[in-house]
Amino acid sequence: MSPRQLRAVAIGLAAVLLLWLASELLSKRSDRITASLGLPPVSDAAADRVTITRGADTAVLAKGADTAWTVNGYAASRQAVTELFAALRDSTPAELAAESPGSFARLGVDSTGGRWIRVAGGGRTLVELITGQNGPAFGTLYVRKPGDTRVFLWRGRPLPGPTRGVDEWRDRRIAGVEPDSVRALEIARGKERYALERRDRRWTSARRGPADSAAVTRLLEHYRNVAAAGFATPRQADSLRARRPPWRRATLRGPAGRLLLALAFDSTAAGIWVYRADGPTGTVYRIEPWSADQLTPAGQTLAPKK
């Protein structure tokens, strides 16, 4: 074989090798097209109002003078607000999903089906975004900016999705009492009533004698953070407040008989309800049945073990 032929063969082999390498590189590239939504950085310190609207459903998050947030006049969950602003600052690249207004309705980001998020501060709009249907993978969501024909698949921290309503923004904390601060407790369960008092490290009942102090300690741990599963509607709340006497009651007292917490419980076909009875009647919360039993156990469960 002549030198010219050898050179041609070498060039041909090199070309084949280059084509193979290019093919390998292209096959390993992601077929996802990433792009930036171009959301400006925003923090809860700079914002004072967030409006989240979908049809007739509107949640208005407002920051008060004490930096506490409310939602439609109710106390808002600080964690939920913090997570919202963390999501808006998320720099995870979004995937371009569509570039035609014809896809808006199908992906839930049209003007009527989408959920509009408007963040304002100092009298001007800081961020505006429309969220739509959940994406094909868990935790993903279709989004677009108003006036933009592009629709993105959001893969960052969770944003308010298609099913998030006002109650999801509300503060679910009912009460919190440190167990060591409790010196006495009273439980009423229909006709059953009992009261316990702590002397040194032991719990006793004036009528029943010594109690199982370990069981009482476990009971008080449930009062460290009493949280709701949901909320009564205004009509339900009015009806429940009018019911007398409550289904159950629980009262916790500190040193010198100081009232720490009083809860009133009611049971209806719609669920188990509780509200604070140690001050102005306010929010009525829904709790799970097992939670009511943990907070107001039968007296025999606190009796000393034989």
Residues 153 and 231 in one domain: no
- Residues 139, 191, single domain; the answer is no
Containing domain of residue 146, as a range? 34-169
Domain termination residue (choose one: 145, 169, 193): 169
Q: Residue 209's pLDDT is what?
A: 84
Q: What is the DSSP letter of 40?
A: P
5 within domain boundaries: no
Q: Which of 169, 49, 57 is nearest to 113 (CA)?
A: 57
My answer on whether 180 and 165 are in the same domain is: no
- 3-state SS, 146-162, equals CCCCCEEEECCCCCCCC
Residue 30 CA to residue 294 CA, distance in Å, equals: 52
Contact 123/139 with Cβ under 8 angstroms? no
The CA distance from 76 to 259, in Å, is 26
Burial (CB count within 10 angstroms: exposed 0-12, middle 13-18, buried 19+), residue 142: buried
Residue 14 within any structural domain of the chain: no
How many domains is the chain partitioned into structurally? 2
Q: Are residues 165 and 42 in the same domain?
A: yes
How high is the pLDDT of residue 29? Answer: 41
Phi, psi of 118 (to 5 degrees): -120, 120
% of the chain exceeding 70 in pLDDT: 86
**pLDDT (mean) for 62-88:** 91
For residue 63, name the pLDDT band (cuts at 50, 70, 90). very high
| Per-residue burial over 213-237, b = 16 or more CB atoms within 10 Å of its CB, e = otherwise | beebeebbebbeebebeebbeeebb
Q: Write down the H helix ranges in the chain.
A: 3-28, 78-88, 104-107, 213-221, 234-242, 289-295
Residue 193 lies in a domain: yes
Biggest alpha carbon–alpha carbon distance for the chain:
115
The C-alpha atoms of residue 237 and residue 281 are separated, in whole angstroms, by 10
216 and 265 belong to one structural domain: yes
Of 13-27, 59-73, 213-227, where does mean pLDDT reach its minimum?
A: 13-27
**Span 129-188, pLDDT tens digits:** 999 999 999 889 999 999 999 999 998 888 886 667 888 899 999 999 999 999 999 999
For residue 112, pLDDT beyond 90? no
pLDDT of residue 280 exceeding 70: no
Question: Which pLDDT band, with edges at 50, 70 and 90, does 59 fall under?
Answer: very high
Distance CA 58, CA 218 (A): 41
Identify the band that residue 20 occupies on the pLDDT scale cut at 50, 70 and 90.
Answer: low
Structure tokens at 297: 């156990």
190-204 pLDDT, tens digit per residue, is 899 999 999 888 999
Average pLDDT score over the chain: 86
Q: Is the pLDDT of residue 7 over 80?
A: no
Whether 85 and 154 map to the same domain: the answer is yes
**Angstrom distance (rounded) from CA 120 to CA 117:** 10
The pLDDT, as a whole number, for residue 31 is 46
**Residue bearing the bigger pLDDT, 4 or 148:** 148
Task: State both tokens at 304.
Answer: 């000393």
Considering the domain architecture, whether residues 178 and 158 belong to the same structural domain is answered as no
Do residues 153 and 241 both lie within one domain? no
pLDDT score of 37: 77
Identify the domain boundary among 149, 169, 189: 169
Whether the per-residue pLDDT at 27 is higher than 50: the answer is no
Distance, CA of 273 to chain centre: 20
Q: Which residues contact 254 (CB under 8 A, 6 or more apart)?
A: 181, 182, 183, 260
